[in-house]
Each structure stands twice: as structure tokens, then as C-alpha cells.
Amino acid sequence: MLEIRAGTATAVLPRRRLASLAAGAAVAAALPRPARAQGAPLRVGLMLPFSGTFAALGENIAAAIELHLAERGGRMGGRPLQIIRLDDESNPANAVQNANRLVGRDRAEVLIGTVHSGVVMALVQISRERGIPLIIPNAGNVAATRELCAPSIFRSSFSNWQPAYGMGLALGRQGVKRAAWITWDYAAGNEAGEGFRQGLAAGGGEVVRELKLPFPETNFQPLLAQIPGLNVEAVGSFFAGGGAVQFVREYAAAGLKERIPLCGSGFLTEGVLGPQGAAAEGIRTALHYGDGLDSPKNTAFREAFKARTTRDADVYAVQGYDAAQMLAAGLEAVRGDLGAEAAFVRAIREARIDSPRGAFTLSPSHNPVQNIYLREAKGGQNRVVGIAAEALADPGTGCRMPA
């Protein structure tokens, strides 16, 4: 998943901050000690973008992970955790080298990362090769939990297929028979397009035309000018960040918004409603999180995140928080001993994660089985107005998980 978030600049942190979070040393002394693995802290490598286009996402994910760790007194499964941050700059060219840095130089025993779907491939690779546990807190490329799935690889976020499937399904159920799909011609856009097509078909409609432009170009005009001639009732889309802002504004400026409703994967309006302004008002999108989700867990999480960072929590923070919860579930089950690999994996696979988005479990291919919410942009918020698809699992096509 590619996502650019608007908002204020976040503070720049040192590239490798060795944050030994043995915060609860005094508390820990009073607790009963598990039999083994007590001494050395467990090294958790956080490979995330702390600079470059996606820096704000990386910061929110990391902050939420550290928030959950702090809630647990700096320990999981009785073992203190040492967080090692590495900035991947969202640069796929250096991804393999950076992953090697974390594992080879910094001796990380667990990996959490990352945002960019190209960079995450290097983490998937190293996890598959060496069996190092990996939790993906954002990148939604379907391959990670389909043909490249592995016992050691988990995802706390979504697959690109999921939100778009939900959107398509919701449209179909509203009675939309003909829709167009518009996106960047790249993996995330096409995976989402597949979901949208299948979802709409399941609801009784059909995608009659796919319009694509090369990533990350923003010259949308040639595509927009074709839409009036297509005779469709709705347009679904997958854009994120800068492209999403411009696309939504141009869609409105072309006079299309009133006549052919625009909808899409939630990233179309995620974190970019400010710059989109009035052009986004009323646009419906589908995502696994949204504003106005009224649950004690969500409220508590948002307050704690705000208190810790002074920023508002968003879907990325939720994904980071849940990545930490998943790690905790595994480590608690094996009392901090990663040597018990099978038990560690089984514990996460069977865990029920009490997420701010609503509790979820994992599919057999280790992707969340979660509600996809239907949201409507209103006054700068993506208000949840219903559930587009309940407990939706990615099909996990092509995943052959060794028993």
C-alpha cells in the first residue's frame, strides 16, 4: 500500500534509536519470573519509513507499537523488549540491504515492517529464508498472505483486495449494475481492482471499464474526460495520498461528482480530507477503520495515543498497535522464548486481537478477518455509516502453509 498523509510535519528522530525499553525494571523485579529467557532483552527490529514521503505513517505505527509496549510495562512474555528502529526511506532499491542490516548487524529476532509494498518484499524474503517472525503493520500487497505466505509471516493491517471488495459489495447491494474502476496501473491498484470487481459481482453488478494511468502520474484529465461516455452509475477508485487529493478535486471540478458518485478503497479519503476540502464531501469509501467507531476499546486507545504523541490516532496507528498486540499474544504463550517457534506461531494464529477497529482473528494465511466499514466523508471525517462486508477474509489464493 502506498499512502501519503497530509498534516503537520512530524519530528525527525535519530535514524537508529536504540530504545531500551526496560522501563518497568523496578516493577518487573516485583513480578514472578518465568523460568527462562529472563535475562537478555528481546530485540525487535522496526523497519519503517521515518523519512521520505511516508514518514508520518511510519511515526504513527512506531508510536502505537511503543504505546502498547509501555502499557505492558516494557515487557512481553516476561521479557523486556529492545526496540531497534531502522529508517527504510520507502526505497525498494535499498530494501534488501536494510533488512540485512536489521537482522545481520543489529541482530533483530523479530521484525515489524513496513509501509511501502515494494520494501516489504525484502522483509518477507528474509522472514521466509530464516524463519524470523515478521508482522506487517501496513503494506497490503496480497502476495504476502497468498502465494508468499509462510508460518512466520503475519499481517495486522489488510490486503489490498479487502477494502475494495467491501466497496464493490456495498455498491452492488445498493442496486448499482454498471460501474467503472479507475486506478494507477500498479500492483496495489490492480489488486484492489480485482477485489472491487469481485465484490460488485457478488452484489449483482458489473465493472464495465477499467481506466488506468501509470503510477504515480497525476495527469487525470485524459481519463476523466472519458467517464461521461461510459454510461455508468458509479465510479470506484484506488488512489492514495497526493494522487488521491488531486483526483478527488479534479473529479469534482470536471462536474462529474454530482452525476456519477465516486467511491473507492478507503485510502482515497484517508488522512487527506483537509486538502481535498469540499470536493470530498459525501464520498463513500470502505476500510477496516473509520471515525466515530463507538467502542470503549477505541475510545481508550485514541485517548492514550493522543496523550502520548499529541497527534490523533489514525488507521496506521491502529495497525501498529495491533501488530504489538499480536506479538504480545505470541510471546506470552511461549514466555518470551522464541525457540518454541511452533507454539509462538500457533498462539498468534489462534489469538483474538482486541483491536480498536473491533476484535479480529487471523485467516489461515495470517491476514486479519475483519469488518470492512462503509464510511462517508463529512466535515473532515470519514464517518462510519455501516458495515460494507462483515468479517471479511482475504481468499488467500495460492497460500500453501506448511503444517
Partner 1 sequence: MLVAGRRGSLLLALAALLVAALPLFASNYHLQLASTALVAAMFALSLQLVVGGAGMVSLGHAAFFGIGAYAIHLLPAGISIALTLPAAMALAAIAALAVGALSLRTRGFFFLMTTLAFGQMLFFVFHDTPLGGGKDGVFITRPALELFGLAWEIPRRQRAAAMLWINLGLLAAMYVGLALLMRTLFGRALLGIRGNEDRMRALGYDTRTVKLAAFVLAGALAGVAGHCQAMTEAFVTPEMLAWHHGAEALLMILLGGLGALHGPILGAFAYVGLGEASTLITERQRLVEGLVILAVVLALPRGLAGIGRGWRR
Partner 2 sequence: MDLSGLLAQLLNGMQYGLLLFLISSGLTLIFGVMGVINLAHGSLFMIGAYAAFVITGWTGALWLALPAALIGGALFGALLERGLFRHFYRREHLDQVLLTFALILLFEEARSALLGNDFHSVQVPALLDFSVPVTPDFAYSAYRLAVLGACVLVALLMFLGLERTRLGSAVRAAAEKPEMVELLGLDARRIHMAVFALGTALAMLAGALAAPLQSVYPNMGDGFLIISFVVVVVGGVGSVAGAFWGALLIGLVDTLGKAYLPEVAGLAVYVLMAAVLLWRPSGLFAPARG
Where along the sequence are the contacts to partner 2 (CB under 8 A)? 4-10, 51-56, 211-214, 217-219, 221-226, 228-229, 241-242, 245-246, 249-250, 253-256, 259, 272, 275-277
Contact (CB, 8 A) for 355 and 269: no
Contact flag: residue 104 with partner 1 (CB under 8 A)? yes
From candidates 44, 63, 67, 148, binder to partner 1 by CB under 8 A: 148
Closest CA to 54 of 10, 99, 111, 112: 10
Q: Which does 39 bind (CB under 5 to 8 A by kind): partner 2, partner 1, none?
A: none
Q: In the bound complex, what is the minimum distance in angstroms from residue 6's beta carbon to partner 2?
A: 5
Contact flag: residue 10 with partner 1 (CB under 8 A)? no
Indicate the SS3 state at residue 298.
Answer: helix
Which lies closer to partner 2 via its Cβ, residue 204 or residue 242? 242
Identify the burial level of 23 via C-beta atoms within 10 angstroms of its C-beta, where 0-12 means exposed, 13-18 middle and 19 or more buried: middle
Strands 368-378, 381-392: pairing is antiparallel
Strands 134-136, 110-112: pairing is parallel
Q: Amino acid letter at 4?
A: I
Indicate the SS3 state at residue 267.
Answer: helix
Sign of CA dihedral 363, 365, 366, 370: negative
Q: How many chain residues are in contact with partner 1, going by CB under 8 A?
A: 34
Sign of CA dihedral 175, 179, 181, 182: negative
Contact flag: residue 141 with partner 1 (CB under 8 A)? yes
Q: Which does 288 bind (CB under 5 to 8 A by kind): partner 1, partner 2, none?
A: none
Contact flag: residue 207 with partner 1 (CB under 8 A)? no
Q: Amino acid letter at 91?
A: N
Give the x-and-dash track for 212-251 against partner 1 (CB under 8 A).
Answer: --xx------------------------------------
With contacts defined by CB under 8 A, name the span among 39-47, 58-66, 87-95, 376-384 that binds partner 1. 87-95
Query: CB neighbours of 252 closer than 8 A, spacing ≥ 6?
Result: 278, 279
Per CB under 8 A, which of residues 38..77 are in contact with partner 1? Answer: 50-51
How many of the other CB atoms lie within 10 Å of CB of 400? 10
Q: In the bound complex, what is the minimum distance in angstroms from residue 313's beta carbon to partner 2?
A: 17
Contact flag: residue 4 with partner 1 (CB under 8 A)? no
Contact flag: residue 97 with partner 1 (CB under 8 A)? yes
Which lies closer to partner 2 via its Cβ, residue 53 or residue 382? 53
With contacts defined by CB under 8 A, name the span among 179-187, 254-262, 267-275, 298-306 that binds partner 1. 179-187
Identify the burial level of 42 via C-beta atoms within 10 angstroms of its C-beta, where 0-12 means exposed, 13-18 middle and 19 or more buried: buried
Contact (CB, 8 A) for 371 and 287: no
Question: Applying CB under 8 A, which residues contact partner 1?
Answer: 12-16, 50-51, 87, 89, 91-93, 95-97, 100-101, 103-105, 117-118, 121-122, 124-125, 129, 141, 148, 185-187, 214-215
